[in-house]
Amino acid sequence: MPEIKVTPLGAGQDVGRSCILVSIGGKNIMLDCGMHMGYNDDRRFPDFSYVTQNGRLTDFLDCVIISHFHLDHCGALPYMSEMVGYDGPIYMTHPTKAICPILLEDFRKITVDKKGETNFFTSQMIKDCMKKVIPLNLHQTVQVDDELEIKAYYAGHVLGAAMVHIKVGSESVVYTGDYNMTPDRHLGAAWIDKCRPDILISESTYATTIRDSKRCRERDFLKKVHETIERGGKVLIPVFALGRAQELCILLETFWERMNLKAPIYFSTGLTEKANHYYKLFITWTNQKIRKTFVQRNMFEFKHIKAFDRSYADNPGPMVVFATPGMLHAGQSLQIFKKWAGNEKNMVIMPGYCVQGTIGHKILNGQRKLEMEGRATLDVKLQVEYMSFSAHADAKGIMQLIRMAEPRNMLLVHGEAVKMEFLKGKIEQEFSIDCYMPANGETTTVTTNPSVPVDISLNLLKREMALGGPLPDPKKPRTMHGTLIMKENSLKLVSSEQALKELGLNEHQLRFTCRVQLQDPHSDADTLHRIYTHLKSVLKGYTIQHLPDGTVIVESIVIKVSSSAEDSNTKVLLLSWSYQDEDLGSFLSSLLKKGLPSGIC
């Protein structure tokens, strides 16, 4: 039986470093190629030596697909393509292709310029890597080679995020990347058609969460920000430069406009402006409201939000600052956090998921004293709020996607093991399908039951149709006779005559003969006549002939009578029938074995 193998190199029972290998129908595909936020050593990149000990990946991979531009999904891409070596096609959507290099460059700067690492990919490598990228459009079927085809679906989450449907022959896999089933202020909801893949590989970041309605969350968020501003505090919102940040910006911008607030909102500079530019461009990827109103005013042209300068952090008075990165593990957000942490009037709102080991994770778990580099400690006095604005599907959303796609198997990645375990139970109970959750490096094998397409000759089909009712009834399967020819990698179902003709074979007649002893005192001719009348009364609707040469012929069955040598009362009947009339023949033999009824003359 054919198999599909899935091996996560990253994101197996873990969040970050998404990288999943899929072997399907003899093709090897890499889904996402991300880095891990929590590590600074070799562990931050997937272990490509799993694929090849040394040497280039090109020979082993047929294509690489990147679902969206977050670094935990594309951070290792230049490393893989340029440093490990991969020259094959890389697929991503247009917005991802546009924004991805900005983020990679930023990432490179932080690691190389700030931390002083060597042996890291260079700007040129990012550029070279991007040259290998082939852009995808939504719902466009792209033929990677003769057999492998991929198709992208809208996934919400961030601008340009896509789910991919990978198909080889009749086997298929859907990889969701990160997705969001509830629309937000700037993006729509993920959608997929009923493609019934063999495996649905889904993220499960919020496997145990059912979020409150989006609107209460927004209201709470606005209320918290408003209250802090009114009592003169500062609000820090650590975000990743792209994605959630834009949503929160739109939210705050409209709120500021409505409530006529004057406190400044800042957005830490750098990549923001470039990124915002792309947000303005890719309007078709945003939600209904923005698409409808951009003619009057593009929602991404902010009025109240200004660029942030480092010196502003010490300004007196209330302000709201969006700063990167989102998990408070480095960069500007951490600097501002250190400055503001001591004042209980201030507030930090964590709008998303925090990986273990980051400061964000620590303070969310209630740690009030933090150890910084150089043995310094930091007292956390400001309020810490957690608002789940992360645009991942919650448990209900995952269930909804499963219902939409109707997969035969389910595979969970990109989540914590305990939570996955819980969701796995749920899925198995609700949909009664198998659910897997492999760890990194662990291979899951799923046997598929692909349907084999067979050509059927039109003549045969028409003939069979003419025999039965006028229309095939899907409720009642019907058997038909034909010959299956396997020739030159193709299957054909034809009528037996045609098969013989095609294969140049002679037709062999197969006849069965059988002797039946019968006690009958009459002469042979009379016996034959009695048999004839008997059969005539039993088999209505068949052609029965009594031939002058002393035989009775029923269809193709020949019946002869001879007296046995010893006893003239014992008659021996000779029955002979061809293979095609097997049913009738065996019926007749058993009928005649019972003897003739006495009432026949």
Partner 1 sequence: MAAHLKKRVYEEFSKVVQIPHEETPAKKLRLSKPSKSAALHIDLCKATNSTDALQYLLQFARKPVEAESVEGVIRILLEHYYKETDNSVRLKIASLLGLLSKTQGFSPDCIVDDAINTLSNEKSHQVLAQLLDTLLVIGTQLPESPAVRLRLIEVAYKHLSDTYFGVRNKCLQLLGCLGMVDAPLGKENEGAGLRDVQSIISDYFGDQDPRVRTAALKAMLQLHERGMKVHQIIYDQACRLLTDDYEQVRSAAVQMVWVLSQLYPESIVPIPSSNEEIRLVDDAFGKISHMVSDGSWMVRVQAAKTLGSILQVSPHFLEQTLDKKLMSDLRRKRTAHERAKELFASGEFSSGRKWADDAPKEKLDTNTVNLIASGACGAFVHGLEDEMFEVRIAAVEALCHLARSSPSFAEKCLDFLVDMFNDEIEEVRLQSIHVLREISTHITLREDQLDTVLAVLEDSSRDIREALHELLCYTNVSTKECIQLALLELLKNLNKYPTDRNSVWKCLKFLGSRHPTLVLPLVPELLSTHPYFDTPEPDMDDPAYIAVLVLVFNAATSCPTMPALFSDHTFRHYAYLRDSLSHLVPPLRLPGRKQVYGLDSVDSGPGSGSVESAQLFLQQSLNRVSTIQNLEAPGAQDLLDFTIRDLQRLGELQTELAGAADFCATYLRCQLLLMKALQEKLWNMAVPLCLKQNVTATAAAQQILEETYKLEFLYSGLESRQVAIIHHVRLQAKALQVILTARTRQGSDPLISSCERFLQDVESFQRLFLTELPHLQDSFVDKLLELMPRLSSCKPVELVKILQTTLRQSGLLQLRLPEQIHRATATIIEPTGESDNPLRFTSGLVVALDVDATLEHIQDPQNTVKVQVLYPDGQSHVIHPKPGDFRKPGPHRHRLITQVYLSHTAWTEPSQIEVRLLLAYSSSSTSLTSPSKLGWSESLESLPPAEAAVEGTIPLSKAVKVYIMPKPTRR
**Residues recognised as catalytic:** 203
Judged by CB, which is closer to partner 1: 82, or 253?
Answer: 253
**Ranges within 154-213 binding partner 1 (CB under 8 A):** 182-183, 185, 188-189, 191-194, 206, 208-213
DSSP sequence for 482-514? -EEEEETTEEEEE-HHHHHHHHT-PPPP-EEEE
The answer to whether 61 and 26 have CB atoms below 8 angstroms apart is: no
CB closer to partner 1 out of 123 and 388: 388
Candidate list 131, 215, 231, 508; residue touching partner 1; CB under 8 A: 215
Site for partner 1 contains 296 (CB under 8 A): no
Q: Which helix (H) or strand (E) holds 128?
A: helix 123-131
- How far apart are alpha carbons 81 and 132 in whole angstroms? 9
Residue identified by tokens 């459009």 is 137
Alpha-carbon distances of 589 from 9, 522, 538, rounded to whole Å = 69, 20, 13
Among 214, 262, 310, 511, binds partner 1 (CB under 8 A): 214
Give the integer Cα–Cα distance in Å for 526 and 530.
Answer: 6
Q: How far is Cα 495 from Cα 481, in angstroms, rounded to an integer? A: 7
Instruction: Provide the mask over 237-256, with x wherever binding to partner 1 is found by CB under 8 A and - wherever it is not.
Output: -----------------x--
Sole binder of partner 1 in the list 475, 476, 487, 594 (CB under 8 A):
475
Sole binder of partner 1 in the list 52, 58, 388, 533 (CB under 8 A): 388
Write out the binding residues for partner 1, residues 427-446 only, by CB under 8 A: 429-430
Q: Kindly tell me which residue out of 126, 349, 359, 395 binds partner 1, with binding defined by CB under 8 A.
A: 395
- Out of 120, 294, 302, 386, the only residue in the binding site for partner 1 (CB under 8 A) is 386
Residue 338 interacts with partner 1 (CB under 8 A): yes or no:
no
Residue appearing with tokens 């145990």: 208
Confirm if 455 and 490 have CB atoms less than 8 A apart.
yes
Q: How far is the CB of 533 from partner 1 (least distance, A)?
A: 33
463 is a contact residue toward partner 1 (CB under 8 A): no
- Among 31-39, 285-293, 565-573, 580-588, which window interacts with partner 1 (CB under 8 A)? 285-293
In sequence order, what are the residues at sequence separation of 6 or more whose Cβ sits closer than 8 angstroms to the Cβ of residue 459?
495, 498
The alpha carbon dihedral of 576, 577, 582, 588 has a sign of negative
Number of residues that bind partner 1 (CB under 8 A): 56
Q: How far is CA 449 from CA 172, 452, 455, in A?
A: 11, 9, 19
> Is residue 525 at the binding interface for partner 1, with CB under 8 A as the rule?
no
CA of 5: how far to CAs of 173, 191, 277, in Å? 10, 25, 40
Q: How far is the CB of 55 from partner 1 (least distance, A)?
A: 44
Residue 501 CB, nearest approach to partner 1 (Å): 28
CB of 376 to partner 1, least distance (A): 25
- Structure tokens, 247: 């949503």
Among 115, 139, 216, 467, binds partner 1 (CB under 8 A): 216
467 is an interface residue for partner 1 by CB under 8 A = no
- Which of 113-121, 367-375, 382-390, 551-559 is the region at the interface with partner 1 (rule: CB under 8 A)? 382-390
**Residue 302 φ then ψ, to 5°:** -80, 145
Shortest Cβ 164–partner 1 spacing (Å): 18
CA gap 168, 62 in Å, rounded? 12
| Cα–Cα distance, 232 to 229 (Å, whole number) | 5
Which one, 54 or 296, has the nearer CB to partner 1?
296
Binding site for partner 1 (CB under 8 A): 182-183, 185, 188-189, 191-194, 206, 208-220, 254, 258-260, 287-289, 350, 364-365, 386-388, 394-396, 399-400, 403-404, 418-419, 422, 425-426, 429-430, 469-472, 474-475
